[in-house]
Amino acid sequence: MWNSFVNLFGHTPLTRRRALWGMALVAPNVLGLLFFFGIPVLMAFATSLQQWNALKPPVFVGLDNFTRLLADPAFWQALFNTVKLLAMIVWAEITFSLLVAVLLNQKLRGRALFRTVYFLPVVTSTVAAAMVWTWIFQPRYGLVGNLLAPLGLRDTGWLTNPDLVLHPIAAVTVWQRLGFDMVLFLAGLQAVPRVLYEAAIIDGANRWQRFRSITLPLLSPTTFLVVVLSVINGFQIFDQVYIMTARTVRGGVGGSATTLAYFLYDRAFVQSEFGYSSAVALVLFLITLGVTVAQLRLQRRWVYYEAER
Amino acid sequence: MINYRRLLIAVVVVLLSVSAVYAQDAAPAIAAQPCAQPGTLTMWVWDENWAKVIGEAIEAWKADYCPGAEVDLQVQPWGQYWDLLRTNAAGGDLPDVFTMSQTFFYTYASNDVLLDLQPYFDEAGVDTSLWGSGMIDPYRWGDDQDLYAGPVNWDTIAIFYNKDMFEAAGLELPTADWTWDDFADAAAKLTNAEQDVYGAAVYAEYQAGYPNWIAATGTTPVVEAGRARCTLTDDGSIEALNFLKGLYDQGYMPSISVVGGASPDDAFNFWLAGKLAMVAGGSWKLPEALEKATFNWDVVQLPRHPETGRTRSIVHSVGYVASASVTNPDLAANLIVYLVSDEGQQFFADAGGVAPANPAMQQRWVEAFGDTSVNIQTFVDALEDSQGVTVFDEIWDKINNEIVVNIFDLGMSVEDAAQAACEFIDTQLPQ
């Protein structure tokens, strides 16, 4: 009995000792995660089965919150808005960050400075950045309005018009994620063996052909990682909505800027429906999980790991 | 033959009785009472400045009425106040005494977490009728309409106007008798599109904005008291909103986007920047205007509706409430009675910020502004025909921001915007 338990940690004393060391080292993190993440997640699951306004004791309602959710047009609108944002963000994030990474991978004067500049938004507080962007997108006196003034778009209500409001939110999200993705791509680019390029040059391949046939395939693991992270991040967009629409209508006119994450915040802290909001959180988690698993499945078709072949 | 002596006596008697009535009106003091037994209380407020004023008042209470009592006074800033309060309520750990807003009162009262203060007011002999109904009716609850809060302070709305612009345009300065027509006329003449100067901005936000104009028509703005019914589609509401939209459509009022946001602070800053001749603002804006305005200005009551002849202001009053689960309700109520009494309210009157709710202290508040050309009394006059708050937090974003942006930024018709707002409000009213 004891032996079989001990064997779980390895079959020889040495491997066991190593395994124990490893566990001791990760223990603080794992315990912290369990306490401050695991328990609240379980509690949220329990809350999602209750009706609770945080003033009166919660009432158990079974799956009511979930059936209500499926029939709530505001939920579907929030989901749709989130999908629209993802459609705007993911391709732009990948294209621009790859472009910047490729440019900054060249021998360029002031390369380190540029890399820092592109990375700065990542370490800038989203709230502060979103405040500044609110001013930039303000009609009449804002930067964007004045740049577009020759087109007669000076007074465009970027943050009030329900048809436009997702664009500035997407733009700020891309701007802020660009630097992080760029770093991942830079690391990926530097791992591409130079000999492949040299061989391609000898074979007469031009710049585009080398990029297309060497860089892109060898970068695909990085691209995959960036896509997964970008999608997960996209599902969680909240700060930008919260701050950029604060001066007009939070969550956009008619809910036009309400993402799933903002929707669940609104239901919890504005409408005081903590049970319903927890149900939204759970559904958001399941959607994100589902999409990520699907991506993991699909990666076999297009991600190329050098070591495997 | 007329007996002059008798007539003279009669006149004197009438005059004396009239002045006696006035004298009674002028001294409706609320008296503080000694506490039965000292103990400890926790108290929350959301404003740093008030905390200072209230702190002084509490020290005086401890010294004069309740030696040995202890109050743990904490400031929880507005941005987190309501979330914290709710979290603490959920944990059964509400502060004993805390400041309450009329828009949030309903939620807390309907969940039975507040102490009914009516018996304590009765016991202390407080005549609650001396507070205006707009100030305290939103704090009534239950079948007997008991009063659950002691009003701390109030604010009313008036028009802040740029005197220099009026003079430059050759206009007479407005008086308290002016009408909507006079207002529209002035807004038109004060607008100068070339210089990017607008005549007025008066629509934004519930408290300072369009609801005042709806109230002047005789319609209760947005919802009837007690969450009874959405009134935005009523004739009075449509009339008032269309009047304001007319000024906007003609370019006399800037859009939300141009002033930079749907908060009345945005419009007020626009006014301070000299881009606006008239702006609707609350009495709480007085200190800021006195400090920052670089031009000559004054305040005047909101213009009168041409047919009803009424000028009406939304009045909001912050209240002190006690938790239903307070361990020492007598002590909590005793502190609240002190804080709303003449003695307790002096501290607010002298601080010269927000106006004290106790009517006996209002003159003192006006005088606390000292030597100024600004007609501070306007805000006290606005109390006379004022409208209490009937809206509540769940509909706040919709009626405070969305309807305003729809009409005054996106150009939606008043009827459609009101319809959309009412559809949402209906989902939030008790079925």
Please judge whether B113 and A55 are an interchain contact, meaning their C-beta atoms are less than 8 angstroms apart: yes
Q: Flag whether residue A275 sits within 8 Å of chain B, measured between CB atoms.
A: no
Using the Cβ of A59 and the Cβ atoms of chain B, whether some distance falls under 8 Å is answered with: no
CA separation for the pair B318, B50 (Å, rounded): 11
**How far is A187 from A178, CA to CA, in rounded Å?**
14
Q: Is A272 on the interface with B (CB under 8 A)?
A: yes
pLDDT class for A13, splitting at 50, 70, 90? confident
**What does the domain layout of chain A look like in residue ranges?**
2-48, 65-308
pLDDT of amino acid B25: 45
Please tell me the predicted confidence (pLDDT) of residue B129.
87
Show the low-confidence residues of chain B (pLDDT under 70). Answer: 1-29, 431
A34-62 pLDDT, tens digit per residue, is 999 999 989 999 999 999 988 888 899 99
Q: Answer whether A141 touches B (CB < 8 Å).
A: yes
Alpha helices in chain A (DSSP H): 2-7, 13-33, 39-47, 64-70, 73-104, 111-123, 126-136, 143-147, 166-190, 194-202, 207-210, 216-235, 239-244, 260-265, 274-302
From start to end of B89-156, where are the E strands?
97-100, 140-141, 146-147, 150-155
With beta carbons under 8 A apart, name residues in chain B contacting A140: 257-258
CATH number of B157-312+392-428: 3.40.190.10
Chain pair A-B, CB pairs under 8 angstroms? 70
CATH of A65-308, picked from 3.40.50.80, 1.10.3720.10, 3.30.930.10, 3.10.20.30, is 1.10.3720.10
Q: Do domains B11-155+316-375 and B157-312+392-428 have the same CATH topology?
A: yes
Backbone angle region of B320, left / alpha / beta, with phi > 0 → left and psi within -120 to 50 → alpha:
beta
For B309, half-sphere exposure in the C-beta direction (CA atoms, 13 angstrom radius) is 0
Region label for A74, one of left (φ > 0), alpha (ψ between -120 and 50) or beta (otherwise): alpha
- Residue B334: closest CA among B112, B50, B68: B68
Q: Does the interface predicted TM-score (ipTM) exceed 0.90?
A: no
Quote the minimal CA–CA distance from A114 to chain B in Å.
Answer: 33
| CA dist list (Å): B269 to A189, B205, B208, B266, B409 | 51, 15, 14, 5, 18
Retrieve residue B195's tokens. Answer: 């210089």
pLDDT in tens, B195-237: 889 999 999 989 999 999 999 999 999 999 888 899 999 999 9
Residues in chain A with CB shorter than 8 Å from the CB of B108 are 55
Fold of B11-155+316-375: D-Maltodextrin-Binding Protein; domain 2 (3.40.190)
**Cα A271–A273–A274 angle (5° rounding)?**
130
Whether A228 has a pLDDT exceeding 90, the answer reads yes
Q: Is B205 left (phi over 0), alpha (psi -120 to 50) or beta?
A: left
Degrees, nearest 5: CA angle B286-B292-B298: 50
Which is nearest to B157 in space by CA: B35, B12, B311?
A: B311
Q: What is the pLDDT of residue B19?
A: 47
The residue extents of the domains of chain B are 11-155+316-375, 157-312+392-428
A157: nearest CB among B111, B113, B257: B257
Six-digit token string for A159: 């943050």
Is residue B107 within 8 A of residue B227, CB to CB? The reply is: no
Structure confidence at residue A309 (pLDDT): 43
Q: Is A84 exposed, middle or buried (0-12, 13-18, 19+ CB in 10 A)?
A: middle
Mind listing the pLDDT tens digit for each residue in B42-85? Answer: 999 998 888 999 999 999 999 999 999 999 999 999 888 998 99
Nearest chain A residue to B262, by CA: A248
**Beta-sheet pairing, B40-45 with B140-141:** unpaired
Q: How far apart are CA B100 and CA B108, in angstroms?
A: 9
Does any CB of chain B come closer than 8 Å to the CB of residue A127? no
Residues 6+ apart with CB under 8 A from B383: B132, B134, B135, B154, B156, B313, B315
Query: At residue B230, what are phi and psi to the nearest 5 degrees?
Result: -75, 130
Predicted local distance difference test score (pLDDT) of residue A3? 72
Roughly what angle, to the nearest 10 degrees, separates helices B414-428 and B235-249? Answer: 130
- Residue B309 is classified by DSSP as -
A247, B261: Cβ pair inside 8 Å?
A: yes
CA–CA separation, B201 and A181 (whole Å): 45
CA angle B237, B241, B242 (to 5 degrees): 115
For residue B402, the chain A residues in CB contact (below 8 A) are 249, 253-254
Among A130-144, A160-174, B113-127, B178-192, name the one with the lowest average pLDDT. A130-144
